[in-house]
Amino acid sequence: MGRKERKEREDKRENYATKRSSEKKRNMLITIGVLVTIAVIVGFAGWKFMNISHAAPGGPVGAGALGSEHSHSAILVKIFGDTFDFSLPAYQLKTSWIHFEGGDGTTIHKHAKGVTLGYLFDSLKLKVDDKCFVFQDGRQFCTNADYSLKFYINGEKVNDIRTYEPMDKDRILITYGAETPEEIQALLTQLNEQKIIEN
């Protein structure tokens, strides 16, 4: 009788040890699976973060990350000799990418590479193309037989400015009217004397 009991106890111990060993292996495999899954999720999230554009909602297509540049340009817009006033609240700080700020209407602040003047004017709800300058209220100043819309960047006449990316210290003149070459030169001189606010 004692031998039979001993045998039963040994069998129980073996079964318990085998069962316990199987549970440990199963728990180890579950733990490894969970850790691998977490590592894959963290790795994918890190890769995704490194490869996304850090664009804020409404950012310009093709622009670099916000903060990839901080440059300042001077601008002067004259419509029939009157200066367009970007210092008004309607034109201040409309986007983080490129804007006027601090109640100043003569310095463009750009905060990312690849941001164009077209994006600036769109953000201000002004329509500017190679023929027309259109105010927010719909008034249009378009090239015709008597008057023309003209663009100058750093003293050089250009046909269109929508795709131009302003660079640090650029000086941009937009004028509409029937100016003589001497009047244009006077406007370029005025623009060159404008202070560029850097902050």
Confidence at residue 35, expressed as pLDDT on a 0 to 100 scale: 83
Whether 165 and 84 share a structural domain = yes
Residues in a beta bridge with 96: none
The burial class, CB within 10 Å (0-12 / 13-18 / 19+), for 165 is buried
Q: pLDDT tens across 25-40, in order?
A: 888 888 887 787 887 7
**Measured on CA atoms in the order 100, 106, 109, 115, is the torsion positive or negative?**
positive
Average confidence score pLDDT of the chain: 89
Check pLDDT > 90 for residue 85.
Answer: yes
Mean pLDDT value across residues 81-100: 96
Rg over alpha carbons for the chain, rounded to the nearest Å, is 34
Query: In angstroms, rounded to a whole number, what is the distance separating the alpha carbons of residues 69 and 28?
Result: 50
State the amino acid at position 67 in one-letter form. G
**Considering only 10-14, 70-74, 131-135, 157-161, which range has the smallest mean pLDDT?**
10-14
**Considering only 47-51, 77-81, 128-132, which range has the smallest mean pLDDT?**
47-51
Confidence at residue 51, expressed as pLDDT on a 0 to 100 scale: 52
The 3-state secondary structure of the chain reads: CHHHHHHHHHHHHHHHHHHHHHHHHHHHHHHHHHHHHHHHHHHHHHHHHHHCCCCCCCCCCCCCCCCCCCEEEEEEEEECCEECCCCCHHHECCCCCEEECCCCCCEEEECCCCCCHHHHHHHCCCEECCCEEECCCCCEEECCCCCEEEEEECCEEECCCCCCCCCCCCEEEEEEECCCHHHHHHHHHHHHHCCCCCC
Q: pTM of the full predicted structure?
A: 0.71
Is the CB of residue 150 less than 8 Å from the CB of residue 178?
A: no
Check pLDDT > 80 for residue 11.
Answer: no
Domain, as residue range, for 153:
71-193
Whether 93 and 120 share a structural domain = yes
C-alpha angle with apex 81: 78 to 132, nearest 5 degrees? 45
Whether 48 and 96 share a structural domain = no
Residue 58 located in a structural domain: no
Q: pLDDT tens across 54-64, in order?
A: 445 557 988 99
Total domains in the fold of the chain = 2
Q: pLDDT tens across 121-177, in order?
A: 999 999 999 999 999 999 999 999 999 999 999 999 999 999 999 999 999 999 999
Whether 176 and 84 share a structural domain = yes
Q: How far is CA 159 from CA 26, 64, 132, 171, 189, in A?
A: 73, 26, 12, 16, 20
Whether 85 and 27 share a structural domain = no
- Indicate which CATH number applies to the domain containing 142: 2.170.130.30
pLDDT confidence band for 118 (50 / 70 / 90)? very high
Whether 156 and 79 share a structural domain = yes
Whether 125 and 90 share a structural domain = yes
Confidence at residue 48, expressed as pLDDT on a 0 to 100 scale: 62
Q: Where is pLDDT greater, at 50 or 74? A: 74
